[in-house]
Amino acid sequence: MPTTAELDTSVPLPAPLAELHLHLEGTLEPAAIFELAGRNGIVLPYAGVDDLAERYRFTGLQSFLDLYFANMSTLVTQADFEDMTRRYLLRAHAAGVRHAEVFVDPQAHTARGIATGTVLHGVHAAMRRAAAELHMTGGIIVCALRDQPPADAMDMLDTSLATGVPLLGLGLSSAEAGHPPADFREVFAAAGEAGLRRVAHAGEEGPPEYIWQALDLLGAERIDHGVRCLEDPALVARLAAERIPLTVCPLSNVCLRVVDRLADHPLRRMLDAGLAVCVNSDDPAYFGGYLDDNLRACADTLRLDRAALDLLAANSIAASFASEARKRDLLDQLAAHAPADLRGAR
């Protein structure tokens, strides 16, 4: 994979952007993991930052998840969750992100004795500060871990709602293969009744059938990843006709071997099929880049021109759960930022 330094940065990136598929715990850079471990008196099983960074080579989703969950042990206090979120939001803002809907995995923390309130109040404090200081909007999406029992997901939802922290939605993440969305019907129904928006990872490593289930059984309004929809023409037709957004994460797909090389990524084919695709960074600390890095890498390797990049940016805003007024404002800013020859193209 090309490093940021090797990339052709000549294509100006569009702005503003919305980021809709971002796991906060996946923003922990090796240096931050050591810093958190130091302040919490945790001894890490790595020789140092470089040794940890060397381990960021994955054979698939599970090999990544093993390290991702292990490194979360360094998050202990509310301030840790606030600092992690603050660091991400500052980096995302520098990438042009003005609206961020962020995932967090409360079950991964309660399993280690960290209260859900500690997690969510910390994340919320950072988001409030970014709203006040940087005018960023967004929300928190709590994810159910699909490789854990559905009853645990229901407990997580109840506990998260009981914290009083405003929640935007419920998501479904973690190991996909062998863990169909159908198992999580009840918790998604409960989330809908509580007024939450619903999204689900599907079609990353799992089959197209999981995307159908996410739509029809969970009421998912967006599909996270979804790249395997291309194996099922009827599914592509439905996703395109209903403008169901797919939050695609190209650098993640390379790192987790969903595709062999970025040059093989189906992003362009997905756009050509009329799918409502946007680009996201998933777990940027682990996969070699934030949203701007993903867009630059795609522009360079997939030869996306400015019109395609602008479409991806517009799709990200349209696919967000921002208010209609906020979406209009962001789309107006995007149009004003576009080169003159593309204005009015949308």
User: Which residues of the shown chain bind ligand ADE in the complex (CB under 6 A)?
Assistant: 23, 26, 61, 68, 173-174, 201, 204, 252, 282-283
The H-or-E segment that residue 101 falls in is strand 97-104
Task: Count other C-beta atoms under 10 Å from residue 100's C-beta.
Answer: 25
User: Quick one: 102 or 114, whose CB is closer to ligand ADE?
Assistant: 102
Q: Omega into 16 within 30° of 0, i.e. cis?
A: yes
Q: How far is the CB of 258 from ligand ADE (least distance, A)?
A: 9
User: Quick one: 86 or 222, whose CB is closer to Zn ion?
Assistant: 222
- Going by C-beta distance under 8 Å and a sequence separation of 6 or more, which residues neighbour residue 135? 98
Q: Does 176 bind Zn ion (CB under 5 A)?
A: no
Q: How far is the CB of 61 from ligand ADE (least distance, A)?
A: 6
204 binds, among ligand ADE, Zn ion, none (CB under 5 to 8 A by kind): ligand ADE
174 binds, among ligand ADE, Zn ion, none (CB under 5 to 8 A by kind): ligand ADE
Q: How far is the CB of 24 from Zn ion (least distance, A)?
A: 11
* 91's tokens: 């980096």
Q: Does 282 bind Zn ion (CB under 5 A)?
A: yes
User: Quick one: 101 or 282, whose CB is closer to Zn ion?
Assistant: 282
User: Quick one: 86 or 201, whose CB is closer to ligand ADE?
Assistant: 201
Instruction: Indicate if 6 belongs to the active site.
Output: no
Measured between alpha carbons, how far is 52 from 311 in angstroms, rounded to an integer?
37
Give yes or no for a contact between 285 and 270, defined as CB atoms under 8 angstroms apart.
Answer: no
Task: Report the relative pairing of strands 277-279 and 17-19 from DSSP bridges.
Answer: unpaired
End-to-end C-alpha distance for the chain, whole angstroms: 32
Q: How far is the CB of 196 from ligand ADE (least distance, A)?
A: 19
The H-or-E segment that residue 303 falls in is none
Catalytic residues: 204
What is the binding site for Zn ion (CB under 5 A)?
A: 282
